[in-house]
Chain A
Amino acid sequence: MTTNTPPEEPVLLVHAYLDGELDPANALAIERRIAADPALAAELARAGALRGVLRKRLPVQAPPPHLRARIDAALGLTRTDTAPSWRALAASVALAAVLASGSTFLALRPTPDDRAAAAIVAGHMRALMASQPTDVVSSDRHAVKPWFNGRIPQAPRIIDLAQDGFVLVGGRIDMIGSTPVPTLVYRIRQHLISLVAVPAANRADAAIARGSLNGYNLIDWSENGVTYWAVSDLGASELEKFATLFRTARPDG
């Protein structure tokens, strides 16, 4: 073997250390070796500089704007009848509002809950398509709550469910009709859950009910003058588990 390059294995560990891939024991061990070996320290500095400059100079860029249309055409979907299109959904929400305002279309008239569900699913989908599903990013509910306090009359109840696998990602404000409502975003594995808290002062408490819209699972329940909606591509039973945990958790903050 060669003598003037560092042996292979510590070099791999240096790179894995840089990438945060080592468990604490191995990380500690390689830190000691780096401290004792200038060649490994230089390797770490170079790899770190390379990673930094790549991120800065060559970020993932937006695809060409016409690519979406090209793919939709290839899939036999036109832009307007694509079910997931946020604009199409927004249009259907607007249409629902128009229908609801007159009495001529009694058979078609959606209930307020139908409209809320459509708006909530639309908000969730729009968030999935955006680069960030939240406007405030934090897993700390004590950071998320004050963000809401500055923006809407009543900050939502925020529960830490990380120990059950549902990690708080952050929050955003969605619109239902002309009402701004707080939305919390949780993540489990790679699934996002939007939890929307809609003020409903006159509403009686109601137990958890399941539904689905546009391929997303929805769960709603009402308590203490608030109707909660949870929407996700997560399976219905896991989403219900999330709802149950949120509902039964002690409000300790």
Chain B
Amino acid sequence: MSSNDDKARFASVVTPHLADAFALARWLTGDRADAEDVVQEACLRAFRAIGGFAGGNTRAWVLTIVRHTAYSWLGKNRRSAVVVVDDLEAVERAQAERGENLGAPATPESELIAKADAARLEAAIATLPVQFRETLVLRDIHGLDYREIAQVTDVPVGTVMSRLARARRRLIETIGMDDR
């Protein structure tokens, strides 16, 4: 395999998805400069792996590498940012069993949601636990379908469904609380 082939494959497989790669890295790290570091490292990994790429969904493949790279980066630089979502789900269940309902307190009208500005939405997304955040961002900002999100985030489609619904509800509640 010649390195010229690798370069051509890199250009056809990875380069078209640079905007998506950078956007996802920024949502995961929360910072543009950190996102650049992550994307650069992800591109190195992708370039090394490109000879073994078997074809298929190039965007999902690139975003999977970006996500892995971002998680390694977060683990090294911001350990506290990676909260295990299983624990979160257990906390939610416990709250629900104690009657501390998450759904009721702030459910704004859809007209109010539609009026939220970019800064408010960004801030609300940033408060989501990272696994909820990535699921929401991949669906509602990048426009991936559930199967692609399952591939990128390495969980079953059922988990994608439940994370997405939870993430959207949390976001909607945050927007509602902001407005009080």
Contacts and interface: CB of A to CB of B under 8 A. Distances in A.
A129 B19 CA distance: 11
B55 A50 contact: no
Contact of A82 (B11, B32, B102): B11
Given A49-B114, A67-B22, A2 B107 contact: no
A14 B103 CA distance: 15
Nearest to A74: B40
A42 interface: yes
Nearest to A85: B11
A64 B99 CA distance: 47
Contact of A51 (B21, B107, B140): B140
Interface string A14-47: 1110010100000000000000000000100111
Given A54-B141, A70-B40, A215-B4, A84 B110 contact: no
Interface residues of A, number: 55
Interface residues of B, number: 64
B4 A74 contact: no
Given A64-B36, A190-B59, A75 B11 contact: no
B65 interface: no
B121 A58 contact: yes
A153 interface: no
B99 A2 contact: yes
Interface stretch (A4-12, A92-100, A161-169, A242-250): A4-12
Which of A14, A42, A63, A64 gathers most chain B CB within 10 Å?
A63
A70 B33 CA distance: 12
Contact of A83 (B11, B21, B121): B11
A185 to B, nearest CB: 14
A49 B110 contact: yes
A71 B43 contact: yes
Given A64-B36, A74-B44, A190-B59, A2 B96 contact: yes
A53 B116 contact: yes
A108 interface: no
B23 interface: yes
B74 interface: no
Contact of A84 (B7, B57, B99): B7
The 3 closest A-B pairs by CB, nearest first: A84-B11, A215-B8, A49-B110
Interface of B: 4-5, 7-13, 15-16, 18-23, 32, 36, 39-40, 43-44, 47, 55-59, 96-97, 99, 101-104, 107-111, 113-118, 121-122, 125, 139-142, 145-146, 161-162, 164-165, 168, 171-172, 175
